[in-house]
Amino acid sequence: ETTVTQSPASLSMAVGEKVSISCKTSTDIDDDMNWYQQKSGEAPKLLISEGNTLRPGVPSRFSSSGYGTDFVFTINNVLLGDEGIYYCQQSDNVPYTFGAGTKLELK
């Protein structure tokens, strides 16, 4: 089983700042890492899929990088509407495991 270690657990940022979230996997997963946003009381939403591919309709402020075991998710110029919890998920092998989440709060 591939363990996904996500950090930090929480972030408090000001509007306009840059957000960086890290996910590290216990096995090599090539570029099979995905990133989701979950706003309060809602279902998760896929933002970025395998190969650091931005999903249709997702602003280009969101991006990711990484390959193998180290991955980074970035939000440039963070906005109030970006508040929520962000999760990474590996899709390389069963079980499909998620990181523990990063709670993003805007000051």
Specify the residue, 14 or 42, whose C-beta has the smaller distance to other proteins. 42
Per CB under 8 A, the list member of 15, 55, 65, 70 interacting with other proteins is 55
Q: Minimum Å distance from CB 107 to other proteins?
A: 22
CA atoms of 84 and 90, how far apart (whole Å): 20
In the list 22, 24, 45, 61, the residue contacting other proteins (rule: CB under 8 A) is 45
Cβ 78 to other proteins shortest distance, Å: 22
Nearer to other proteins, 9 or 15 (CB): 9
Asked if residue 43 binds other proteins (CB under 8 A), the reply is: yes
- Min dist CB 104 to other proteins, Å, is 14
| Beta strands 4-7; 53-54: pairing state | unpaired
Contact predicate 46/52, CB 8 Å: no
Cis amide prior to 95 (ω within 30 degrees): yes
73 binds other proteins, rule: CB under 8 A: no
Q: Does 99 bind other proteins (CB under 8 A)?
A: yes
Q: Round to whole Å and give the CA distance between 81 and 31.
A: 28
- CA 39 to chain CA centroid, nearest Å: 13
**Cβ neighbours, 10 Å, residue 69:** 17
